[in-house]
């Protein structure tokens, strides 16, 4: 039985798409343990599409951190009006704890970080482990809060996403409009990263790896780009010998993106949000990782291969490399191709035209 009874629960959600996907385990767990409670999510508009169609919450409050103190005060006023019994803070920022405190939430549960413990009624120890205790896998971070609350199934780390029939139809139309070859399985190629240029692998290397996998494994590459990443997608498509599908920036709403990823037999990507969508749908995923640590995003997902090079300057977590970008430039296409083939051999794959059955659900 949970530590606290609560009828009105606020969950402050993460600010990045990948973290929000990982946090679906927490939303599912809270709903299971508080089946009758009113559950409201506090989040940035940017991540809201991740949790559309999910059954675990009753309402959403959007916050815009670009407004600074004004946003915190607006949120606090809304929280006071709602009279929440419990706030579960999945972020560890000072401002999220301040908003819950100003909003007079009775119980405020979050990690003891960033000088905010005095704003919390329950300051939970950070779950980091040696040798870098400041780092911890996101699923462990969220799970430790659930364990503190005494929730059943706190250790169930599975991410879970949902689409609507409209999302599924939009994905089918988008593929048909781009002359999808139904005799080939889909290879999702995600060459961007909202975090910054330091995470990016070179377009010509993505093109070579995608060409070889398309040829060897009878796949058709689908290049997926986010805002501002159109030039990267066009550069990759221009280098490829096997004709890819290239979606324009903004052509796919996020719901349709989820539905499309669910249809894929493999994803090749940088350390970016859509990789976590692939995990949620059980799609084998090869992740090229340079300036960030695999510890932070580790989820024991068996259908993933992390390709990285140990370098003296990393992981640095800088958004732009100040030197020679060696952490990414030392990753050879042949290594990525080999990792992808090993993963496919180990995991198996759905036959062409049947990729949607490989997903973990809608």
What domains can be seen in the chain, in order of their start residue?
Answer: 8-149 (3.40.50.2000), 167-358 (3.40.50.2000)
| 167, two tokens | 């999302």
Pairing of β 285-288 and β 266-270: parallel
Q: Which of 111, 15, 119, 26 minimizes the C-alpha distance to 64?
A: 15
Phi, psi of 175 (to 5 degrees): -65, -40
pLDDT of residue 1: 75
pLDDT of residue 356: 45
Per-residue pLDDT tens digits for 136-171 = 999 999 999 999 999 999 999 999 999 999 999 999
User: Do residues 80 and 8 make contact, with C-beta atoms less than 8 angstroms apart?
Assistant: no
pTM: 0.91
pLDDT of residue 350: 54
User: Do residues 10 and 42 make contact, with C-beta atoms less than 8 angstroms apart?
Assistant: yes
- d(CA 118, CA 1) in angstroms, rounded, equals 27
pLDDT of residue 66: 75
Q: Which parts of the chain sit beneath pLDDT 50?
A: 351-354, 356-360
pLDDT of residue 355: 52
């Amino acid at each position: 039985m949970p530590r606290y009874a609560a009828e009105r629960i606020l969950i402050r959600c993460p600010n990045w798409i990948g973290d929000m996907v990982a946090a679906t385990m927490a939303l599912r767990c809270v709903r299971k343990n508080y089946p009758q409670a009113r559950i409201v999510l506090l989040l940035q508009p940017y991540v809201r599409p991740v949790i559309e169609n999910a059954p675990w919450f009753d309402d959403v409050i959007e916050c815009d951190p670009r407004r600074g103190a004004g946003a915190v005060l607006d949120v606090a006023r809304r929280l006071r009006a709602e009279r929440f019994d419990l706030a579960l803070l999945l972020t560890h920022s000072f401002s999220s704890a301040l908003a819950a405190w100003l909003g007079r939430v009775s119980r405020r549960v979050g990690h003891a970080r960033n000088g905010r413990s005095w704003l919390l009624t329950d300051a939970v120890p950070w779950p980091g482990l040696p040798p870098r205790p400041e780092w911890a896998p996101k699923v462990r971070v969220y799970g430790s809060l659930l364990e503190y609350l005494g929730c059943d199934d706190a250790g169930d780390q599975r991410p879970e996403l949902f689409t609507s029939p409209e999302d599924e139809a939009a994905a089918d139309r988008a593929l048909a409009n781009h002359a999808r070859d139904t005799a080939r399985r889909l290879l999702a190629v995600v060459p961007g990263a909202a975090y910054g240029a330091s995470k990016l692998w070179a377009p010509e290397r993505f093109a070579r790896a995608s060409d070889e996998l398309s040829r060897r494994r009878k796949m058709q590459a689908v290049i997926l780009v986010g805002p501002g990443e159109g030039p990267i997608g066009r550069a990759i498509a221009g280098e490829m010998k096997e004709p890819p599908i290239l979606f324009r920036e903004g052509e796919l709403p996020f719901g349709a993106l989820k539905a499309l990823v669910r249809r894929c037999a493999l994803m090749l990507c940088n350390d970016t949000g859509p990789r976590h969508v692939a995990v949620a749908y059980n799609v084998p995923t090869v992740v090229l990782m340079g300036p960030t640590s695999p510890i932070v995003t580790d989820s024991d997902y068996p259908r993933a291969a992390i390709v990285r090079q140990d370098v003296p300057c990393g992981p640095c977590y800088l958004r732009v490399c100040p030197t020679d970008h060696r952490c990414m430039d030392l990753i050879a296409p042949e290594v990525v191709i080999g990792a992808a083939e090993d993963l496919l051999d180990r995991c198996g794959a759905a036959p062409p035209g049947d990729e949607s059955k490989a997903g973990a659900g809608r």
